[in-house]
């Protein structure tokens, strides 16, 4: 039996020896390969092992905070890997995410232990329902009480959500048509993140038939659509208004510069506008979500995890942001439901595969979070955050509910191997390499970013072997294209860039 481990490595052995040899080879080689090859995740990652890892880290966290439900993890210290003790308070914008992760863990495992813990951490946030110091009531209360209510249907949680929505609505200015995000900078700053907090308002409006909350949320969404989003689908972080609703200036406190594209802000736009479309049914919001998504996907590096800003010029501060990837993955899964565009589904799967690999999950380490490599703001990267963990678990739960599959099947390559085309970027001609360990019905096709099939290069029964398939892009316009290889129930995809 001949087994292709990589295009340059083959082993020859009997079937049982092979299985053992492959296993050992994969364990030792996978990390080196994933570093060299970016998205080649040769080691498969099952839902079960991703959940075991997440459970481990949540239990480690509970130990670390002494099961004290007044402590709500925010981000880890980049040196010690422990949750930063100065950011455990209820008043942090992040305080709802740990409770939210406990709810998702309950949904994913059905283990009552997680439900009880989730209730305890949720109910500790009660005092925050009347906090008017910022716009983050939605993050704090919807991630905790909102998830809790969907599971327990508890009347007291419903009342809490109503009161919290009322609190948030107090920051709305009808002249400006927006909710004021912060009190500590600018005149009336509205940040792109604020879209996320509208879910609390829309949800309460829908469930209590409250037109006032609905129109506040919709008005904010429209203002943000008009002023945060650029023509090319990218977003500004902060828009500061004067009291008549005129724009003073657009800037950032977390990204690389006023005209750059802060990756987590872009992810908030993807998730936020998709969610707003869910409540309003208005296509302009769906269009905004799609434009933001296409921009995000087009600017992703090989492993589908963005740098914290798409335009950071200095490599010393160009750190990754796993949290932006997790938020976007969860958003893509909802967007796929509305559009049926597989670009979003596949991008979510690629992200989840990468996040579950040792490059981003805290396997074999003392770090307390589930994921590492998030960036809080320019110059403060390489940390774990409770929100990266929360949206990662949410995305896994959404994926499972959407597809009925255990976990992104695309990452399990079963010795189906799809290499990066060479050259890439390319001008008209390039070659796509792949190998099949088993013969089978095989299709290799090229798609544009809207999911439209451009060309089918291979289609039919193919014997096991290694293939070099030329692709001629004459007549196509410059841009990013995706090629997908499907064989024996497995689908792998990669991006390539055509420069005419
Ligand atoms: N909402 C704050 C942040 O994304 O960092």
Three-class DSSP labels, the chain? CEEEEECCEEEECCHHHHHHHHHHHHHHHHHHHHHHHCCCCCCCCCHHHHHHHHHHHHHHHHHHCCCCCCCCCCEECCCCCCECHHHCCCCCCCHHHHHHHHHHHHHHHCCHHHHHHHHHHHHCCHHHHHCCCCCCHHHHHHHHHHHHHHHHCCHHHHHHHHHHHHHHHCCEECCCCEECCCCCCCCCEEECCHHHHHHHHHHHHHHHCCHHHHHHHHHHHHHHHHHHECCCCCECCEEEECCCCCEEEEECCCCCCCCCCEHHHHHHHHHHHHHHHHHHCCHHHHHHHHHHHHHHHHCCCCCCCCECECCCCCHHHCCECHHHHHHHHHHHHHHHHHHCCHHHHHHHHHHHHHHCCCCCECCCCCCCCCECCECCECCECCECEHHHHHHHHHHHHHHHHHHCCCCCHHHCCCCCEECCCECCCECCEEEEEEEECCCEEEEEEEECCCCCEEEEEEEEEECCEEEEEEEECCCCCCEEEEEEEEECCEEEEEEEEECC
Same domain? For 220 and 327 the reply is yes
Same domain for 345 and 466, yes or no, is no
Is residue 176 domain-resident?
Answer: yes
In a domain, 26, yes or no: no
**pLDDT, tens digit (0-9, with 9 covering 90-100), for 55-92:** 999 999 999 999 999 999 999 999 999 999 999 999 99
Residues 6+ apart with CB under 8 A from 350: 39, 304, 410, 493
The reported pLDDT for the residue numbered 495 is 86
Whether residue 189 lies inside any domain: the answer is: yes
Same-domain check for residues 264 and 190? yes
pLDDT band at residue 417 under the 50/70/90 scheme: confident
Final residue in a domain of this structure, among 369, 403, 437: 403
> Residue 139 CA: which ligand 1 atom is closest?
1
- Best residue among 235, 264, 390 to mutate for probing ligand 1, ranked by most atoms within 8 Å of CB: 264
For residue 265, the ligand 1 atom closest to its alpha carbon is 4
Residues 358 and 284 in one domain: yes
Any domain includes 35: no
Q: How far apart are the C-alpha atoms of 58 and 310, rounded to whole Å? A: 31
Write the burial class of residue 63 (CB in 10 Å: 0-12 exposed, 13-18 middle, 19+ buried): exposed
Do the domain assignments include residue 465?
yes
In sign, the C-alpha dihedral spanning 450, 452, 453, 454 is negative
Name the catalytic one among 136, 309, 389, 419: 136
Buried b (16+ CB within 10 A) or exposed e, 448-481: ebeeeebeebbeeebebeebeeebebeebeeebb
Q: Which residues pair with 429 in a beta bridge?
A: 472
Please indicate, yes or no, whether residues 394 and 450 belong to a single structural domain of this protein.
Answer: no
Mean pLDDT of 453-480: 91
Cβ of 264 closer than 6 Å to ligand 1, yes or no, is yes
Catalytic residue at 183?
no
Tokens encoding 463: 């014997």
Instruction: Single out the residue of 254, 287, 293, 253 nearest to residue 271, CA to CA.
Output: 293
**pLDDT of 493 over the 60 cut:** yes
Q: Is residue 428 domain-resident? A: yes
User: How close is the Cα of 399 to the center of ligand 1, in Å?
Assistant: 24
Strand order in the sheet with 429-436: 417-418, 429-436, 465-472
Vertex 151: Cα angle to 88 and 167 (nearest 5) = 55
Q: Which of 25-34, 67-76, 139-148, 333-342 comes out lowest in average pLDDT?
A: 25-34
Residue nearest (by alpha carbon) to ligand 1 atom 1: 193
Which numbered atom of ligand 1 lies nearest the CA of 376? 5
Residue pLDDT, tens place only, 184-225:
999 999 999 999 999 999 999 999 999 999 999 999 999 999
Total number of domains constituting the chain: 2
Kindly give, in sequence order, each residue whose CB lies less than 8 Å from that of residue 331, ignoring residues fewer than 6 positions away.
267, 270, 271, 272, 274, 275, 289, 293
Structure tokens at 109: 């495992």
Q: In this predicted model, what pLDDT tens digit does every residue of 240-290 receive, in sequence order?
A: 999 999 999 999 999 999 999 999 999 999 999 999 999 999 999 999 999
Asked if 360 and 373 touch (Cβ cutoff 8 Å), the reply is yes
Q: What is the pLDDT of residue 46?
A: 59
In contact, 466 and 4? CB cutoff 8 Å: yes
Full strand arrangement of the beta sheet holding 189-191: 189-191, 238-241, 247-251
Q: Does residue 130 register a pLDDT over 50?
A: yes
User: Is residue 4 in some structural domain?
Assistant: no
- 321 CB within 6 A, ligand 1: no
- The CATH number of whichever domain residue 137 belongs to comes to 1.50.10.10
Q: Active site residue: 134, 193, 321, 413, which one?
A: 193
459 with 384, same domain: the answer is no
Q: Is the pLDDT of residue 436 over 90?
A: no
Taking CA atoms only, the protein residue closest to ligand 1 atom 2 is: 193
Q: Which of 373, 403, 433 is the last residue of a domain?
A: 403
**Which of 401-405, 453-457, 490-494 has the highest average model confidence (pLDDT)?**
453-457
Q: Which residues contact 239 (CB under 8 A, 6 or more apart)?
A: 189, 190, 224, 227, 228, 247, 250
Regarding whether 432 and 319 lie in a shared domain, the answer is: no
Q: What is the CATH number of the domain that holds 429?
A: 2.60.40.1930
CA 108 – ligand 1 centroid, Å:
26
The residue among 51 and 129 whose pLDDT is bigger is 129
Question: Do 220 and 349 fall within a single domain?
Answer: yes
C-alpha 209 to ligand 1 mean position (Å): 30
d(CA 456, CA 441): 14
Task: Give dist(CA 404, CA 67) in Å, integer.
Answer: 34
378 touches ligand 1 (CB under 6 Å): no
CA 424 / ligand 1 centre spacing (Å): 34
Counting Cβ atoms within 10 Å, is residue 24 exposed (0-12), middle (13-18) or buried (19+)? Answer: exposed
* Distance between Cα 90 and ligand 1 center (Å): 16
- The pLDDT assigned to 415 comes to 61
Exposure b/e, 372-406, CB count within 10 A at least 16 = b:
bbbbbebeebebbbbbbbbbbbbbbbbbbeeeeee
Q: Kindly state whether residues 239 and 148 are assigned to the same domain.
A: yes
State the residue range of the domain holding 491: 417-498
Q: Do 396 and 440 have their domain in common?
A: no
Q: Which atom of ligand 1 is least distant from the CA of 264?
A: 4
Asked whether residue 221 falls in the same domain as residue 300, the answer is yes
What is the predicted pLDDT for the residue at 74? 98
- Does residue 407 have its Cβ closer than 6 Å to ligand 1? no
Active site residue 448: no
Model confidence pLDDT, tens digit, residues 154-166? 999 999 999 999 9
Q: Provide, rounded to the nearest whole percent, the portion of the chain with pLDDT above 70.
A: 87
Q: Whose CA is nearest to atom 5 of ligand 1?
A: 376
Q: Are 148 and 103 in contact (CB under 8 A)?
A: yes
Domain ends where: 344, 378, 403? 403
Supply the pLDDT for residue 205. 98
Residue to mutate, 196, 387, 388, 391, ligand 1, most ligand atoms under 8 Å from C-beta: 387
Q: Is the pLDDT of residue 43 over 70?
A: no
Percent of the chain with pLDDT over 90: 74
Measure CA of the first residue to CA of the last residue in the chain; give whole Å.
Answer: 43
75 pocket-lining for ligand 1 (C-beta < 6 Å): no
Q: Is residue 91 part of a domain?
A: yes
The 10s digit of each residue's pLDDT in 317-370 is 999 999 999 999 999 999 999 999 989 998 998 899 899 988 999 988 999 999
Indicate if 107 and 152 belong to the same structural domain. yes
Ligand 1 centroid, distance to 150 Cα (angstroms): 25
């Amino acid at each position: 039996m001949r087994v292709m481990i990589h295009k340059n490595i083959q082993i020859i052995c009997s079937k049982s020896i092979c299985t053992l040899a492959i296993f050992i080879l994969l364990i030792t080689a996978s990390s080196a390969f994933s570093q060299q090859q970016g998205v080649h995740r040769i080691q498969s990652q099952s839902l079960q092992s991703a959940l075991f890892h997440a459970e481990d880290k949540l239990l480690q966290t509970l130990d670390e905070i002494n099961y004290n439900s007044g402590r709500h993890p925010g981000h880890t210290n980049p040196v010690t890997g422990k949750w930063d003790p100065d950011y455990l308070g209820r008043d942090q914008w992040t305080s709802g995410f740990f409770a939210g992760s406990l709810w998702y863990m309950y949904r994913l495992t059905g283990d009552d232990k997680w439900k009880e813990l989730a209730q305890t951490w949720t109910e500790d946030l009660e005092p925050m329902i009347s906090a008017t110091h910022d716009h983050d009531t939605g993050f704090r209360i919807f991630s905790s009480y909102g998830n809790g209510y969907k599971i327990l249907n508890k009347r007291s949680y419903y009342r809490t959500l109503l009161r919290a929505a009322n609190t948030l609505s107090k920051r709305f200015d009808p002249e400006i048509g927006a909710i004021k995000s912060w009190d500590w900078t600018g005149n009336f700053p509205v940040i792109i993140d604020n879209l996320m907090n509208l879910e609390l308002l829309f949800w309460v409006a829908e469930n209590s038939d409250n037109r006032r909350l609905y129109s506040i949320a919709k008005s904010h969404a429209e203002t943000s659509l008009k002023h945060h989003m650029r023509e090319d689908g990218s977003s500004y972080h902060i828009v500061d208004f004067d009291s008549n609703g005129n724009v003073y200036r657009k800037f950032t406190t977390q990204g690389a510069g006023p005209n750059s594209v802060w990756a987590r802000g872009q992810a908030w736009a993807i998730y936020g506008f998709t969610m707003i479309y869910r409540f309003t049914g208005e296509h302009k919001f769906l269009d905004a979500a799609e434009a933001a998504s296409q921009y995000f996907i087009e600017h992703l590096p090989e492993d589908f995890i963005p740098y914290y800003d798409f335009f950071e010029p200095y490599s010393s501060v160009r750190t990754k942001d796993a949290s932006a990837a997790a938020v976007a993955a969860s958003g893509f899964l909802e967007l796929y439901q509305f559009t049926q565009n597989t670009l979003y589904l596949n991008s979510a799967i690629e992200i989840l595969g990468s996040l579950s690999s040792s490059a981003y999950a805290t396997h074999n380490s003392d770090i307390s979070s589930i994921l590492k490599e998030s960036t809080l703001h320019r110059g403060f990267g390489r940390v774990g955050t409770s929100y990266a963990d929360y949206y990662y678990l949410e995305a896994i739960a959404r994926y499972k509910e959407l597809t009925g599959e255990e976990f992104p099947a695309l990452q399990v390559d079963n010795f189906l191997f799809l290499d990066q085309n060479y050259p890439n970027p390319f001008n008209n001609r390039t070659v796509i390499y792949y190998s099949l360990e088993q013969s089978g019905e095989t299709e290799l096709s090229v798609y544009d970013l809207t999911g439209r099939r451009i060309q089918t290069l291979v289609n039919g029964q193919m014997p096991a072997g290694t293939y070099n398939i030329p692709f001629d892009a004459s007549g196509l316009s410059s841009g990013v294209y995706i090629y997908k290889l499907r064989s024996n129930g497995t689908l792998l995809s990669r991006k390539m860039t055509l420069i005419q």
